[in-house]
Amino acid sequence: MSVKRPIPVKTIVLSVLSLLTFILSVSSQNDIVDFGSDRWDLKNGEIVEYLDRTCLSGYVVLKDVVFENGVIEVDIAVKDNKVRGYPGIIFRMQSPGNYERFYIRPHRASLYPDALQYMPVFNGVECWQLYNGDGYTANADLPAQQWVHVKMEISGTQARIFLDNAEQPSLVISRLKHGASKGTLGLMGQRGGNAYFSNFKYTIDNELHFDPPLEEHTPLGMITEWELSQGFKASEVDLERPPEDQGFRDLTWQRVRCEPSGLVNVARYVGRSGRAPDCVWARTTIHSDKDEIREYQFGYSDVIVIFLNKKLIFSGNSAYTSRDPSFLGIVGLNDGVYLPLRKGDNELLLMIWESFGGWGFMFRDADAIFQHEGITSLWEYKKGLKYPESAVYDEKRDVLYVSNYFNDGDEFLSKVTLSGEMKDLRWITGLDRPTGLCLYEDKLYAVERGNLVEIDIDRGHIVHRYAVPEPVFINDVAFDDSGNAYISDVQKNVIYKFAGGEFELWLQHDEIQSPNGLCIDNNVLLVGNTGDGCLKAVDLSDKSIRTVVSLGNGSVMDGVKMYASGKYVISDFNGRVFLVSLDGQKMELLNITGPKQYCADLEFIRDENMLIIPTMYDNRLMTYKIQMEW
């Protein structure tokens, strides 16, 4: 018989205390935190009455919580949604100058894509000009004189915001810029202003589920390594001279690396000295193998001065409303400069001046390209093509067919030899903005606006137009072994099936968003899904869908062609080409995003290991030889 030992009294007491602490904690989390409670630090807030509720106006912070993962809820009301205001939630506040913030712009609701804004704050600098667009801002409808429920779910480095108990989030934040941090909570508005808060509560929850964020790629040619000086009052700096020419000889430099987007957020490293503008110097080295003039794209906030090898090259102002009354000063690769580089090392020196809204910059070599060592350039053709969108190879006749997407209503298909000679520029005419091409049973099929077009190749004649029912923007076509055609509709988010002379809406699913390029391998339909930048595999038997690979947010999945069974060549229209496999592997072959050359619906000829890329906007065909084992 076993003998049970008594549990020590100390252990019992500690366990009971732990349980009570947990119960009290959960209870306080699930309850509304009354604004009259002494848990609040009323920084610049006051308790008022509005819309039959006792509520808060202004800025408050909770004194007794360390929040990492969970749910924050609050009701927000505004008196007038045409009055400027920025009411919102502060979370994971580590110090008064370092926290995450979500807020609403009621005056931009329903009109602009930034009515909702996620904004990190570093060293007291509010960085809304640095973080804008997908993952940071979104539109929303925010009626006046009405309580709007706001729920924010936060886990790790991700968050999402729901308005008025909607099932789908209004804004998904893929990457919180403070990382997986923790800190207190608060609400921020203007005391006595236009906005009010009510029914605030929070719940600690470490079990929230988020899908992994899409891959984030540093744009090709981005300068990633910099050195930053300490900060200075802008009033003490001569903007037309480098620092050593105006007596700044005690600069201290710290090495920094840009974020994956290419952005250097200066406020991560240097704090502001006050409300008056500050500036900082940033420097790096550019190496050139020869004397040359090279184009660079850049973005900045708020003012920039560029020096190359101690000589003034450029100065510009991108501050809020500086260029016109509606100018926001959002940072992006929107400006350009031609740098006269000398052979060897060149010092690039920037002065970045900040007033408010974000302190940062990015700099990119506009001519940078990546070409895998396993591929070599063959030939280019650029004579008379009109926005070439798709190419397909006819093995029987040893010729390429190319769709010319736009020609003022007189669009056409061309025939080009594999050696790069034009055989017939206007081979088939009378098409309406043709895109995808496909060969099946010695006939050529083209997708034009509203129709699948059947072409007799030997006669060079359009045989039939099959009208697609209620299309929005049909794009590509692929045939299975049974002769069924599948057509993608990029804007309707569906895939049609054409069988026996009839169309059916074959696939409509949440995972199929902006379907573009199509390819069939055995019983699998490969779909270039632009909506999430992923290649999808759809089983033709049961329509089950899985993600094969992701090319990242913003990728336009244009061309998908067989490389070998289970392996494919795919193009991102922005200017990238990859080899990918059904088991999720991928390898970048080409990146020409820097010089803004595009990669539309490509073709791959397996017997020749030849890649053909229509570039659309610059009216050329580019060809490459792939010589590699993969």
Average pLDDT, the chain: 93
What DSSP line would sit under 300-341, residue for residue? EESEEEEEETTEEEEEEE--TTSSSTT-----SS-EEEEEEE
The CA distance from 437 to 446, in Å, is 5
Q: Which of 7-16, 316-325, 586-595 has the lowest mean pLDDT?
A: 7-16
What confidence tens digit (pLDDT) does each residue in 19-41 have?
A: 444 444 443 456 899 999 999 99
Q: What is the pLDDT of residues 41-52, one digit of tens each?
A: 999 999 999 999
pLDDT at 1: 40
Question: For residue 2, is pLDDT > 70?
Answer: no
Residue 4: pLDDT band by 50, 70, 90 thresholds? very low
Map tokens 């974020």 to a residue.
259
For the cut 60, the answer to whether the pLDDT of residue 455 exceeds it is yes
For residues 240 and 116, give the distance between their C-alpha atoms in angstroms, rounded to a whole number.
39
Range with lowest mean pLDDT among 2-11, 202-211, 273-282, 490-499 = 2-11
Where is average pLDDT lowest: 93-102, 407-416, 544-553, 598-607?
544-553
Question: What end-to-end distance do the CA atoms of the chain give, in Å?
Answer: 66
pLDDT classification of 249: cutoffs 50, 70, 90: confident
Report in angstroms the alpha-carbon separations of 544 from 131, 486, 511, 524, 567.
36, 16, 10, 10, 19
pLDDT > 70 fraction of the chain, expressed in percent and rounded: 95
In this prediction, what percent of the chain has a pLDDT beyond 90? 89
Q: Is the pLDDT of residue 301 over 60?
A: yes
pLDDT at 364 (0 to 100): 97
The pLDDT assigned to 29 comes to 58
pLDDT at residue 16 in the model = 42
**In what helix (H) or strand (E) does residue 187 lie, and over which residues does it extend?**
strand 184-188
Average pLDDT, integer, range 234-246: 93
pLDDT of 213 reads: 84
- Is residue 116 pLDDT above 70, yes or no? yes
CA distances from 583 to 513, 515, 526 (A): 22, 21, 13
Do you know the residue count of the chain?
A: 630
Burial of 3 (0-12, 13-18, 19+ CB in 10 A): exposed
Residue range 164-175, pLDDT digits in tens: 999 999 999 999
Across 268-288, average pLDDT? 96
Residue 131, phi then psi, degrees to nearest 5: -125, 105
Strand partners, 400: 393, 416
Res 30: pLDDT? 67
Provide DSSP, 378-396: EEEE-SS--SEEEEEEETT
Q: Is the pLDDT reported for residue 3 higher than 50?
A: no
The Cα 243–Cα 204 span in angstroms is 50
User: At a CB cut-off of 8 Å and minimum separation 6, what does 96 contact?
Assistant: 124
| DSSP letter (8 states) at residue 268 | G
Count helices and strands in the chain by DSSP H and E runs: 1, 49
For residue 575, what pLDDT is reported?
95
> What is the band of 11 on the pLDDT scale with cuts at 50, 70, 90?
very low
Tell me what the mean pLDDT of segment 419-424 comes to. Answer: 97
Q: Indicate the Cα dihedral angle 79, 85, 88, 91, nearest 10°.
A: -160
pTM for this one? Answer: 0.83
Domains of the chain: 25-204 (2.60.120.560), 225-365 (2.60.120.260), 387-626 (2.120.10.30)
pLDDT band at 10 (very low <50, low <70, confident <90, very high): very low
Q: Residue 223 — very low, low, confident or very high, per pLDDT cuts 50/70/90?
A: very high
List of residues 6+ apart from 520 with CB closer than 8 A: 478, 479, 480, 481, 486, 526, 540
Cα 340 from Cα 173, distance rounded (Å): 40
What is the reported pLDDT for 615? 97
Query: Side chain identity at 379, as an amino acid letter?
Result: W
- pLDDT tier at 308, thresholds 50, 70, 90: very high
